[in-house]
Chain A
Amino acid sequence: MGAELKNYLHEQYYFRLRLGFAALAVLSLFALLAFRFSYLQIKQYEHYQTLAENNRISLVPIIPNRGLIIDKNGVILAHNFFVYTLEITPAKIKNLEETITELSQLVEVSSLDRKRFKKFLEQSHSFESIPIRTHLNEIEAARFAVNHYRFPGVEIKSRLFRHYPLGKLGSHMVGYIGRINDKDLENLEKSGSLSNYKGSDHIGKSGLEQFYEKYLHGTTGLQQVEIDADGHAVRVLSSSPPIPGDNIILSADSKLQEIAETAFGDRRGALVAINPKTGEVLSYVSQPTFDPNLFVDGIDADNWKQLNESLDKPLINRPLRGVYPPGSTFKPFVALAGLEAGKRTPPFSIHDPGYYALPGSSHRYRDWKPSGHGTVDIQKAITISCDTFFYGLAMELGIDNLTAFVRHFGFGRKSDFDIKGEIEGLLPTPEWKMRRFKQQWYPGETVIVGIGQGYTLVTPLQLAQATAILANNGVAMRPHLVTQIQNTLSGKNQIIAPVVQDKIELNPGNVEIVKHGMTDVTLPGGTAASVGANAGYAIAAKTGTAQVIGIKQNEKYNEHNIDERHRDHALFIAYAPAEDPKIALAVIVENGGHGGSAAGPIARKVMDYYLLGKLPTAEPVKADTKLPKNTNGTATIPEEELHD
């Protein structure tokens, strides 16, 4: 018993020793856990708190509806609608080609779609969602939805799309929006508006869409959304609604625009019509045009190539960026310079032998009428477009005085127009020539500036603006297309008031002489008598022809012997009614030949409609109200009009 008990107690002692050791181990390991918890929950609390919040809360931008572009009469030129797009997030896809091939068994994916996708792929980050197909119809969307589980990383999204219901009409004026690229991002960052573009894919790229971007875009709303581990929104924590973009209302009228564009036919050129009293641009034509809808979801390579490489250069915004020698349309301004400088005070007149020669030189500057015009005073010089008269006048004025004067009419400088990209044109001076060519100015160069040739280059907008300034007796109004900015929430309109840019000090009598000369242009005996025939209102105008290629001395220009693209440009400026101008315009028909016959009729149709509401009779106007076709060839109907 004693030994057994001793043995038992001994055994129990050792056992308790081991138990004590185990208890110590248990407590120290629990202490280790406690230390770990204090590290995670107290020391690193803020770190993990942030991580949990980031996990949980996602800021979802709500893209505002883009403002509409509306013409003078309420016709919508640009609006928005929702379309289904099929989008791929490349980072989530193992084999892109395979996935696209499989997708194409569900929804049609054309080779154009693939090309466009590839283009976007190169420009985007792999975690961005890139459209492979846009404008899915309901059936396609449903078909994909059923098979969605097979395509992780592919989503159907409902995106706001811009649509230009009138298609090609006025596309250079309206412009287009396109996907935001790196350069746009840079600009947005510089202007501090990057945060307002969270979630936006598009931005105005040209025309009014670009210029009025900050009004049209609106303010992006923000939703704080609680998300679960799969990224699905569970509930909205807070939300600031987006503020839709403002609508912009134009002074241009789509009907007038249609008449003007139709009048050009398939000829290239430009037309700008301005209300001289306000500077409101009534029509803004650049021919040929293009369909801006092509650019909205990214233009595909084939269409791009076609537009970009076309000899007709449809992408050039001619009224702003096309530069042409003004030709004889320059003459009224030269005439006014002569009058104002006191060089040609009536009843001064010359005898025109059909040419002008500098004193002591045998070089003849020919008149367009080889036999000459006989006795010509300043008014008649305009009416019959006498070159000889203006050669001499330019010489007497001197190049510096001449350019300094006409610069007041907007030549050689930007007009502060509300479309970006305006070109200054060129009013040559001796300093300019020295800078540009390191050459001295020759007197002969002054001579030809008198008839709008030589280095002189103007844009159609400048020509129209100069005409408007003249019509408005020297008061220069800022040319602009947008007259009202409409707040879509309040419905209140901010009127863009006409701005007086300049008031040229002119002698009213001198202005009257020039205007009279121009009015006679459209009367029998004038260079554009046919344009004024049976108008029912008086048109003051000036024709012009600008040489595209040089004609050698003694060589005769023969329109029919010259390649179409080397023919002269036809120019025409006009305002009407002559006694109380409501419209001033400039028309250029590239390689159109003579101004009066090629460009004049276009001007007349525009003025007829604007002043009398008269539709052109010779060619019936086709109403182009059909919806544009999308890239897949199926017509799409706007899902939902967002504005009215």
Chain B
Amino acid sequence: MISRLLHHLVKHIDAFLMVCLFFALLIGLFVLYSASGQNIERVYAQCINMIVALSVMWVVANISPQKLERVALLLYVVGVLLLIAVALFGSISHGARRWLNIGFTQIQPSELMRIAMPMMLAWYFSTREGKPSAANFIIGGVLLAIPIALITKQPDLGTALLIASSGFYVLFLAGLSWRFLLGASVSLLALMPVFWSLLHDYQRKRIEILFDPTQDPLGAGYHTIQAIIAIGSGGTAGKGWLNGTQTQLDFLPERTTDFIFAVFSEEFGFLGNMLLLVLFSLIIMRGLMIASQAQSTFSRLLAGSITLNFFSYAFVNMGMVSGILPVVGVPLPLISYGGTSMVTLCLGFGILMSIHTHKKLVAT
């Protein structure tokens, strides 16, 4: 009786993914404890976030991909409408209009778009018969462009870029031609100098600092410089948990959120970084495996996009903290403190698990 209940509870949970997630979340809690200056309250709060996120994951994992497919269009339309509402009535904080007040609480519709966007495109391509035509890709591109334009206007460049890439992954996996990809890349590169020449001096300066933080060591470059010092001084084995001087003495900014990787890196060193990369790789490989084994066009495109999107987050975050990418506000998935991104992330994993555990037997 109990075992049957237990079986029912976990039957849509992917064990491999779950174990990996569990380890990543555990690491996250330990790093957060250190990064928050040993603030156990913060750790409890993050535990609550995790419980909520894992519950969402469980619920979503138990929803079949077919049901998800049916709500894809609705979610997308609602998301776009909410983004328009934000543009019209949104509340401004920190110079950006991202939040929408819905009476009892505030919501950030761009978060919804992180999932709704790949779902919409995956649904769109799954409704096309055979190999998608160029026209299909153009329509896909337009569907992608609408929310991105709205989010860029907020402005929230980081989120816009990541949603764009999640949409792009669907297009890519749906078979966007190599010729187009090559042509687009070349023309983009060719247009760079033109774009550059159109910029004001101060805008150029800002972009230069984005790529070379040492130009403004006390201003915009300060975060990156201190993060790189934290990572480098971690050495091979790290300074040890709770012993990172850059962390504990406030040299690291935003160290519980976007720059938490520097904390981890300082205290656990190169070996810790490798462990984290391996853990992330395992999660990604498992996700790609789920995508490759998925049975419908919708589910494989969605699974592939969600997995690669997870990679985008991890790569962009570690890349910016270690100074090879410009600083955009992207948290480190599963590790950074914060409820919204945790829920969105786990929602994605729930979809992956749903896709993997709702397979029908297919004669091959």
Contact = CB atoms under 8 A, between A and B. Distances in A.
Interface in A1-48: 7, 11-12, 14-16, 18-19, 22-23, 26-27, 29-30, 32-34, 36-38, 40-42, 44-45, 47-48
A30 B324 CA distance: 12
Nearest to B300: A15
B308 interface: yes
B24 interface: no
B315 A29 contact: yes
Nearest to B315: A29
Contacts of B155: none
Interface residues of A, number: 39
Interface in A25-77: 26-27, 29-30, 32-34, 36-38, 40-42, 44-45, 47-49, 51-53, 55-56
A33 B230 contact: no
A37 B322 contact: yes
Nearest to A31: B277
Contact of A52 (B131, B169, B246, B300): B246
Given A22-B173, A26-B284, A30-B280, A228 B231 contact: no
A528 B236 CA distance: 92
Given A48-B229, A49-B233, A52-B233, A41 B273 contact: yes
Contacts of B308: 22, 26
A49 B291 CA distance: 43
A229 interface: yes
B233 A30 contact: no
Contacts of B229: 48, 51-52, 55
Contacts of B281: 26-27, 30
B101 interface: no
Nearest to A50: B233
A48 B233 CA distance: 5
A37 to B, nearest CB: 5
Contact of A40 (B249, B285, B311, B322): B322
B249 A47 contact: no
A234 interface: yes
A32 to B, nearest CB: 8
Contact of B291 (A14, A19, A38, A227): A19
Contacts of A48: 228-229, 231-233
B274 interface: yes
Nearest to A16: B292
A56 B231 CA distance: 15
Nearest to A37: B273
B251 interface: yes
A365 B116 CA distance: 122
B306 to A, nearest CB: 12
Interface in A403-417: none
Contact of A228 (B233, B234, B250, B285): B250
B13 interface: no
A55 B244 CA distance: 12
A16 B297 CA distance: 12
A185 to B, nearest CB: 29
Interface string B250-274: 1100000000000001000110011
Contacts of B311: 26, 29
Contacts of A36: 319, 322-324
Interface in B302-324: 304, 308, 311, 315, 318-319, 322-324
A230 interface: yes
Nearest to A45: B235
B288 interface: yes
A246 interface: no
B250 A229 contact: yes
Interface in B107-160: 130-131
A12 B299 CA distance: 12
A241 B186 CA distance: 67
A293 B49 CA distance: 66
B245 interface: yes
Contact of B231 (A30, A41, A226, A229): A41
Contacts of A42: 235-236, 270
Contacts of B250: 228-230
Contact of B172 (A16, A22, A32, A37): A22
A34 B284 contact: no
Nearest to A33: B318
B240 interface: no
B175 interface: yes
Given A34-B277, A37-B273, A19 B288 contact: yes
Contacts of A18: 172-173, 175, 304
B26 to A, nearest CB: 21
A38 B270 contact: yes
B249 A37 contact: no
Given A14-B175, A19-B288, A33 B249 contact: no
Contacts of A234: 249
A56 B243 CA distance: 12
B283 to A, nearest CB: 11
A126 B173 CA distance: 60
A239 B12 CA distance: 62
A30 B288 CA distance: 16
Interface string A167-185: 0000000000000000000
Nearest to B233: A52
A44 B245 CA distance: 18
Nearest to A9: B364
A228 B322 CA distance: 22
Contacts of B175: 14-15, 18
Contact of B130 (A7, A40, A227): A7
Nearest to A21: B172
Contacts of B245: 52-53, 55-56, 226
Contacts of A16: 292
Contacts of B169: 22
A615 B230 CA distance: 75
A230 B233 CA distance: 20
A41 B292 contact: no
25 contacts: A18-B304, A19-B292, A22-B173, A22-B308, A26-B284, A26-B311, A27-B281, A29-B311, A29-B315, A30-B280, A32-B324, A36-B319, A36-B323, A41-B231, A41-B234, A41-B273, A48-B231, A51-B229, A52-B230, A53-B245, A55-B226, A55-B249, A56-B246, A226-B249, A229-B250
Interface of B: 130-131, 169, 172-173, 175, 226, 228-236, 245-246, 249-251, 265, 269-270, 273-274, 277, 280-281, 284-285, 288, 291-292, 297, 300, 304, 308, 311, 315, 318-319, 322-324
10 nearest A-B pairs in the assembled complex, by CB-CB distance = A48-B232, A52-B233, A41-B270, A40-B232, A48-B233, A228-B249, A229-B250, A228-B250, A56-B245, A229-B251
Given A34-B277, A41-B232, A56-B251, 6 more contacts: A19-B173, A23-B284, A33-B315, A33-B319, A55-B249, A228-B251
